[in-house]
Amino acid sequence: MMLKGKVAWITGAGTGIGLAGAKSLAEAGATVVMSGRRKKVLDEAAATISTAGATITVHPLDVTDAKAVQKAAETIIQQHGQIDILINNAGINTPNRFYKDQTIDGWNQVVRINLDGTFYCIKAVLDHMRKQKEGLIINVASWAGVYNAAIVGPAYNGTKHAVVSITETLNMEECQNNIRACAICPGEVNTPIMDSRPVPPPAADRKAMLQPEDLGKAICWVAQQPPHVCINQMIISPTWNRLYVGSIEKP
């Protein structure tokens, strides 16, 4: 129960990495606030967290709405007294993702959620974390935030590179306030976002990918580090990495 007494707010918490992170944080003793766009999905997800004595609340939220994000942070602080950990996990890509078929609306949707939403949530908690002289912000970026990936397109590559950059800028500016930030950069993870691929990966390939629980454990491990330790960036990939295009054969 290393996180007992800590309050963790996680976006995109209804499925995949977000839900796995919520479960791991609850198991470590944290009070967990789960946000996402769909209340029904959040409620059903929260009900799957069976950790005895865990405090789980849901707060539906569209991270592209800056005012709603600020209001959500204020409400969480009113309800729980603090926000110690923010996990920016909300993210999206579009099926039409390559230059030949990327629409302006699709581009804007990816930028608004992946980049703007991440910034809005950071902005909403920073003053509070400065006042309490402690805070951890974990931004779920991507392998594509470190290495350009051909299969994800320019909007996803660009926004995830930007998330890695703003994470390190946080450490540059806020380390004096004992605020630390980590960009977690996973390779392919078997989550529902795979279904939005132009050609969804086959079941056998998805089985060999990272699983949401792997990232949930990684999030929790970063959160459990003592306040003087900052994990600036964590790159995680499946052993059989499909993003090494042409360099390996499938077993």
Residues labelled as active-site residues:
156
Q: Which of 20, 12, 24, 56 is nearest to 224 (CA)?
A: 24
